[in-house]
Structure 1
Amino acid sequence: MRKPSPRTRQHDAETQDPDTPFYDAPTGGWGSVNSLRRNFAEAAPQGDVFEVLARHNKPGGVMCSSCAWAKPATPHTAEFCENGAKSVMWELDRRRADPDFFAAHTLAELRGWPDHDLEKAGRITEPMRYDAESDAYRPVDWDTAFEEIGAELSKLAPKEAVFYSSGHAGLETSYLYALFARAMGHQNLPQSSNMCHETTSVNLKNTIGTPVGTCTLEDFDHCDAIFFFGQNTGSNSPRFLHTLKAAVKRGCKIVTFNPLRERGLIEFVDPQNPVQMTVGKPTRISDHYYQLRPGGDVAVLAGLMKCVLAAEEAAPGTVLDHDFIADHTTGFAELEAALVALSWEEIERQSGLARAMIEEAAGVYLAAEKVIGIYGMGLTQHVNGWLNLGMYCNFLMLRGNIGRLGAGISPVRGHSNVQGQRTVGIGEKSSHMPADKLRTLFDIEPPEEDGMNAVEACEALLEGRMKALISLGGNLVRALPDRARMEEAWPKMRLTVYIATKPNRSHLTPGEVSYLLPCLGRTDEDIQATGRQAISMEDTFSHIYGSVGRAEPASEHLKSETDIVAGIAKATLPENPKLKWDDWVADYGLVRDLIEQTFPDDFAGFNERLFQPGGFYRGNPARERIWKTESGKAQFTTPTTLSALGDSPEGADVMTLVTLRSNDQFNTTIYGYRDRLRGLEGSRMVMLVNRDEMARLGLGEGETISLRCAIEDGVERRVEGLVVTPYDLPEGCVAGYYPELNPLVPLAYHEKNSKTPAYKGTPVQILRSSAA
């Protein structure tokens, strides 16, 4: 890869390259209001959408299916953001992808549709079975579908089946899904977190003994400073902006490190504040904003820590939290020696920031008694993501900023229940669901062999070892790296079963036998034998909430996700009187009782606390400074490199690719073609690059190019038809949209310990039209 140059970018929160597209208004405000108006007109949702939104994220209402941000005990009048409202309107679509729709379109034809148009076809209304002769889905009744799926699964060795889940399903369905897999005899339970925050689950546990963040919402009322690395609040978790506004108002300082200038971390206008919406001024969010080079987080954190050590040397005993380091940590001496040996020249080269900028940011940290560290996928989706997290924990631990009020490390989860699903057993390891409890409660012998995560399942697919996939929500084919290879291999599976609300790209790659099973959405009323049912989920702060759908379902033929999982399990597994699938479907409270019995420390009094305002906290040992690590202490991490990027080819033409999600998108769901908060609109087939690099590489604005993966492993990976678009980015990198650019990321190019794909740091080369 082309080596970083010594040039640095002198940016702060007000500096913007005026010669590139950008959004010059605050996040929120009238821009958000007008966006919702346009989206409402285009989505044409059901009439009960307003009733759903009025109760959104409030006790007794629907918990948002978009991000996993907390639901406060005292909610706002409108406790939803632009993204949350879009997700509700998208789910409450009036359009119907009914049997007539599927009869009118072959899968070959639908593969030519954009992702946006596929989902815009509307809600699926009846269970469907793929007919290879006509290349179309045809209706099938539920009993037949369950019977045939069960027969197919029963023919396979258990480890040949994979049960995938997105972060949408509630805790009740997720628990039964995890139980079903283990009763069948496998632990192949990949999840959407494998593509985003699995770096956290694996490496944070190694470092501080917990797979999740240590903060709660209360901490933001007490912190003196907040540091952001690689998290785009404005597009991914806009309700967080209310919390940040309140923190700024009482004097909290915010420092942001991110390759792109994201408006949500620059300024905000509260759409629910009439004064600010009319005559008031926007709230400035970040006091300092630094556009570091992709993968430069390790170097920045090393520089920040060198500043802390220098301050301690100048005033011994007054800067470091010596008691915390002595009593609660191990490995400090090794870290200190490594930091002292690092040169500022190398830190500047790798980070793309000047020493003075890092020292400025360190000044904020040193002046603060209590600091929260926020991060997102900009830290986790790197080959050396483990080191990113280790260095971030190092930085916070130097001054005791983990395990006390107003301080801690806090990943912001992007999917509503992705964290909760792991909590109740969805995961490939025996530790995710205690075997002794399964033996006692259900008289089953769970497997001892670890199962497969998403990358491992893909490897098994390419090798012919994966024969069946059950997909509980999501759009897995579209979300995976190396997509061209995945789409080619997918139809070789014997069985694919997709549980979904709307058609998406994955449904167009059926196995030899394939079913499309329509489920209730989270907003839909779920009536079972004992009446209306509630489901539950976990937020990014380990709080649990009940959720009740009240909208009219899109079809009388829909089943709940819980009912579908139970139906397939009944048809697959041998008779077992302790597996009471019918009873559990009739009353989800019985499933919550099972969750409480399986995980008593986390879910004591589950049913009684289900609708507690603000959710109930399941606890976190690291927050109490109980370190469930091998050493029994928090572990300082010694850096082995100053870059989060992996080894890749060097050369002046090799750039680092960063994939992005737009303001009009949730994961693989594309609501529209406006990326308002970046000043971009229209086609998603763009390559963003700064003007200096355009000149160096001889690129013209509007030129159509191809991107090629620069990793040489015998596989040619290209994405063609990208339009060169100037944008305010650091040198040496390009950016483009996820999932369109996923084909450029090799399956084997992932975070070292968790196998999270390196979507934020893949080496690529630009091919001009003459070379393409």
Structure 2
Amino acid sequence: MTQPPDHKASPDHEPHPDHKAVQKPYSGPAGGWGSVKALAAILTQEEVTVLGSEILWQQNKPGGFMCVSCSWAKPADPHVFEFCENGAKATAWEITPKKTDPAFFASHTLTELRGWSDHALEENGRLTHPLRYDPALDKYVQVSWDEAFLEIGAELEALDPRSVVFYTSGRASLEASYMYQLFGRMYGTNNFPDSSNMCHESTSVALPEVIGVPVGTVLLEDFDKTDCIFFFGQNTTTNSPRMLHPLQSCAKRGVPIVVFNPIRERGLEQFTDPQNPIQMVAGGTRIATEYYQVTPGGDIAAITGLCKALIEADDTAQRDGAPRLLDTQFIAEHTHGFEDFAAFCRDSDWAALEAVSGLPRSEMQAAAATYGKANAVIANYGMGLTQHVHGVEACKMVANLLLLRGNIGKPGAGISPVRGHSNVQGQRTVGISEKTKLVPLDRLKELYGFEPPRQDGLSTVDACEAIVKGEVRGFVSLGGNFLRAVPDHGVMEPAWTKLRLSVQIATKLNRTHLIPGEVTYLLPCNGRIEIDRQATGPQAVSMEDSTTCIHGSRGQREPVSEHLRSEPAIVAGLAKTTLPPNSKVNWDAWVADYALVRDAIERTYPDQFKDFNKRMFQPGGFPRPLGARERVWKTPTGKANFTVPESLLNRSAQPADVYQLVTLRSDGQFNTTIYGFDDRFRGVFGGREVVLMNEADMARLGLAKGDMVRLTSAVDDGVGRARGGLQVLPFGIPEGSIAGYYPECNVLIPIAHHAKGSKVPAAKSVPVRIAKEAAAESQAG
């Protein structure tokens, strides 16, 4: 299949003019007819119209398959169609009959393919055969599985294990993830960065310190019991659309929904359920009752304003002998550090809070009043909080707000970090972590008779820095598009070519695969939706959703190629050719029957996975036990901890000519996968090479709609970072801030620009300067 010219795009620094965007208003709700049309379009595009409609019936259903897109909770009593527009896109993307086979690679060099867009690479179809890069031809060539395993094993044996990285995206099942981390640790490394390092690591660092668990405390059933919901920096529209069903139910029964977000996102404003004929005719439901456009990076100040208003109102009530506003009994019995936090809030100046948050005092007080009237509050947040320099502190501030009125550890209340990829939380649960304190190393030693490495491994940012320094020599990736997802493309791509070994386990071709190391393999795996037949019959896998519930998943369609292998089979194949024999690990038996892997997980984590095999298909999943849900606080103080933030500003202060770039995902993408060039909810159609700006900022810089600009990094570290050929479009974003699409704008993010404490790339507040380009310069990129 040759690539149509209109699907081509130049690399990061030279955007192709074919996809100049058109801006036009979109007044429709989230869901509705727009979602129906998008579903029909993606099924037609991927040539799965009939097959796709049959398989979609089984999506997120007990006994069916779990969505390969987001990790939002799966209800015990599902809707007739328990999938969203983005989930349907992900399913169609995986089950397409289109193929990227050896004949395709025989016709295209990697140099040529680097000129294709991200969309074109993946849309070309599923990988079908194991491949090895031939540098003389600049092409991938077919290789047998046995040959690939033997050669990769020999390469790994020759490398220092400490110089090898084992990366995972968020799709790998619990079974594959457990086997993968065991393989890596038996090999001798704790270098297990994963996609969580790039999004919710701020949560994983913050929450154990304040409530004793690294994950959220909210279950799906809590949405039926809550009487108030808050959102901070989370775009339900594209990141977790099925969440709109419980939100709509809450809105219909009068639950206040309060949103703090720099951009007015459609799914948090209005939703029409495509499964409801009355709504499709009469219109949908208003979601947010209050919507506050906080300045990007102003969340800590905004939440401080809420807490200040609550504490001062409580002070007044105490002085006047009126009922207290704070839950003083909960604070006294269950918390530590309240007085220091209360003093910080009382001392915070309203003028400073207004300046940093971008919100007037009256709005912060109004939101606090709504919060103060509720008995059970859920607080949701996303990467709009975590991907900042002070992202860890921002997460802690959400916990501070909840603790003031005892909103953790009771029905209808809790903290809810909304995760991204479908099993990004679960793979951490079964050992994918570079932090040794989070992994039961002694238990692994006892079970498998080896001495695990004890030093911490590399996080994603650590791995990037080590690759640039030449300290990482081997990189094995279980899914993902690492080079496209990480910051600093202009620095990372040249450094990547110096790797001795690159092994990429994938379902589709992506940009990382086009940057080879000295020895490079591309190993095609089954998708989750495909039937996984092994020696004992078809296998099921499991994953953990964003609410800590574990679900089973069964493949529904025949594999696109007989030459694919499952992720567990590939991990086992690599382990057998790399490691010496170990009588306590029967890799072949595990591949033959995944239930044995689940038994091993239960033996390793008996408190988390009791009766794993018996419960994995329990409708709604089975929740992992969490102390914080029962108000058992596994923290050093034995209580939930109030904390005082280091700074009100959730980013670095910058000069007046520097703008804060917020990187966004569009309606037509999931993470680095680009399904199409439209972002209908934001009114951007036909292109992604855009900068969204406040009209007042455009006027100040003398820019008109459609002008072409160049963004340059405002970080003075001696590295030139620029992104040219970007089209300016007016947009409702706070002054001093601009927005552009991820991953195209990642080239502007220095590796070192990350959250303190968690090293999450600070992709929601990237300091840049803006310069208008002349017409000739724009054409040249």
Is the TM value for this pair above 0.5?
yes
Q: Tell me the secondary structure at the aligned position of residue 496 of structure 1.
A: strand
Distance across 2 between alignment mates of 1:314 and 1:46: 63
Distance across 2 between alignment mates of 1:131 and 1:25: 50
Q: Tell me the secondary structure at the aligned position of residue 315 of structure 1.
A: helix
Shift of 1:49: 2.0
Residues 706, 767 of structure 1: 8 Å contact kept:
yes
Q: Which amino acid aligns with 1:369?
A: N
Q: Which amino acid aligns with 2:83?
A: F
Shift of 1:203: 1.2
Shift of 1:728: 0.7
1:699 counterpart residue number? 703
Q: Tell me the secondary structure at the aligned position of residue 61 of structure 1.
A: coil
Distance across 2 between alignment mates of 1:692 and 1:460: 42
Q: Which amino acid aligns with 1:546?
A: G
Matched, 1:294 2:299: no
Matched, 1:121 2:124: yes
Q: Which amino acid aligns with 1:387?
A: E
2:547 counterpart (536, 541, 545): 541
2:4 counterpart residue number? none
Q: Which amino acid aligns with 2:761?
A: P
1:716–1:21 CA distance, 2 compared to 1 (3 A): same
2:243 counterpart residue number? 240
1:563 counterpart (565, 569, 576): 569
Deviations 1:727-756 (A, max 9, x none): 111000000000000011110010001100
Matched, 1:149 2:155: no
1:189 counterpart residue number? 192
Compute the TM-score of the two structures, normalised by the length of structure 2: 0.95
Residues 173, 542 of structure 2: 8 Å contact kept:
yes
Q: Tell me the secondary structure at the aligned position of residue 534 of structure 1.
A: strand
1:552 counterpart (533, 538, 558): 558
Q: How does 1:413-492 map to 2 (within 5 A)?
A: 413-492=419-498
| Structural RMSD (CA) | 1.2
Q: Which amino acid aligns with 1:692?
A: A
Residues 198, 760 of structure 2: 8 Å contact kept:
yes
Distance across 2 between alignment mates of 1:718 and 1:289: 34
Shift of 1:360: 1.2
2:354 counterpart (345, 348, 351): 348
1:218 counterpart (218, 221, 225): 221
Distance across 2 between alignment mates of 1:666 and 1:605: 34
Deviations 1:457-495 (A, max 9, x none): 111111111000000000000000111100010010000
Unaligned residue ranges in structure 2 (runs of 5+) = 1-21
Residues 49, 551 of structure 1: 8 Å contact kept:
no
Matched, 1:627 2:633: yes
Q: Tell me the secondary structure at the aligned position of residue 109 of structure 1.
A: helix
Distance across 2 between alignment mates of 1:436 and 1:690: 55
Shift of 1:38: 1.5
Distance across 1 between alignment mates of 2:272 and 2:162: 52
Shift of 1:768: 1.7
Q: Which runs of 4+ in 1 moved over 6 A?
A: none
1:249 counterpart residue number? 252
1:578 counterpart residue number? 584
Distance across 1 between alignment mates of 2:145 and 2:429: 30
Shift of 1:250: 1.6
Q: Which amino acid aligns with 1:516?
A: L
Matched, 1:134 2:140: no
Shift of 1:441: 1.1
Residues 305, 395 of structure 1: 8 Å contact kept:
yes
1:168 counterpart residue number? 171
Q: Tell me the secondary structure at the aligned position of residue 177 of structure 1.
A: helix
Distance across 1 between alignment mates of 2:498 and 2:634: 43
Compute the TM-score of the two structures, normalised by the length of structure 1: 0.96
User: Percent same amino acid at aligned positions?
Assistant: 56
1:306 counterpart residue number? 308
1:57 counterpart (56, 60, 63): 60
Q: Which amino acid aligns with 1:33?
A: V
Shift of 1:47: 4.7
1:16 counterpart residue number? none
Distance across 2 between alignment mates of 1:665 and 1:406: 32
1:11 counterpart residue number? none
Q: Tell me the secondary structure at the aligned position of residue 607 of structure 1.
A: helix
Deviations 1:307-365 (A, max 9, x none): 10122122125111111111111111111111111111111100111111111111110
Matched, 1:519 2:525: yes
Distance across 2 between alignment mates of 1:545 and 1:568: 27
Residues 203, 215 of structure 2: 8 Å contact kept:
yes
1:679 counterpart residue number? 683
Unaligned residue ranges in structure 1 (runs of 5+) = 1-18
Shift of 1:144: 0.3
Distance across 1 between alignment mates of 2:462 and 2:566: 29
Residues 23, 683 of structure 2: 8 Å contact kept:
no
Residues 66, 84 of structure 1: 8 Å contact kept:
yes
1:747 counterpart (751, 769, 779): 751
- Segment drifting more, 418-427 vs 43-52: 43-52
1:259 counterpart residue number? 262
Q: Which amino acid aligns with 2:414?
A: G
2:77 counterpart residue number? 74
Residues 469, 497 of structure 1: 8 Å contact kept:
yes
2:15 counterpart residue number? none
2:3 counterpart residue number? none
Residues 23, 263 of structure 1: 8 Å contact kept:
no
Q: Which amino acid aligns with 2:747?
A: P
Q: Tell me the secondary structure at the aligned position of residue 674 of structure 1.
A: coil
Q: Which amino acid aligns with 2:286?
A: R
Distance across 1 between alignment mates of 2:420 and 2:307: 29
Shift of 1:21: 5.0
1:7 counterpart residue number? none
Matched, 1:733 2:737: yes
Distance across 2 between alignment mates of 1:730 and 1:554: 47
2:345 counterpart residue number? 339
Deviations 1:122-163 (A, max 9, x none): 111100000000000000000000000000000011101100
Shift of 1:757: 0.1
1:605 counterpart (599, 606, 611): 611
2:649 counterpart (639, 643, 646): 643
Shift of 1:281: 3.2
Shift of 1:48: 2.8
Q: Tell me the secondary structure at the aligned position of residue 677 of structure 1.
A: helix
Matched, 1:271 2:277: no
Shift of 1:22: 4.2
Distance across 2 between alignment mates of 1:593 and 1:391: 39
1:283 counterpart residue number? 285
Distance across 2 between alignment mates of 1:394 and 1:454: 29
Shift of 1:646: 2.3
Shift of 1:639: 2.2
Matched, 1:410 2:413: no
Distance across 2 between alignment mates of 1:51 and 1:453: 40
- Segment drifting more, 155-164 vs 316-325: 316-325
- Segment drifting more, 399-408 vs 308-317: 308-317
2:8 counterpart residue number? none
2:512 counterpart residue number? 506
Residues 552, 616 of structure 2: 8 Å contact kept:
yes
Q: Which amino acid aligns with 1:328?
A: H
Distance across 2 between alignment mates of 1:73 and 1:701: 48
2:42 counterpart residue number? 39
Shift of 1:24: 1.0
Residues 20, 727 of structure 1: 8 Å contact kept:
no
Distance across 2 between alignment mates of 1:174 and 1:613: 23
2:18 counterpart residue number? none
Residues 341, 642 of structure 2: 8 Å contact kept:
yes
The aligned length equals 751
Q: How does 1:78-117 map to 2 (within 5 A)?
A: 78-117=81-120
Distance across 1 between alignment mates of 2:42 and 2:398: 38
Distance across 1 between alignment mates of 2:505 and 2:645: 43
Distance across 1 between alignment mates of 2:454 and 2:723: 41
Shift of 1:46: 7.2
Distance across 2 between alignment mates of 1:327 and 1:603: 31
- Segment drifting more, 32-41 vs 555-564: 32-41
Shift of 1:20: 8.1
Shift of 1:27: 0.8
Distance across 1 between alignment mates of 2:25 and 2:386: 26
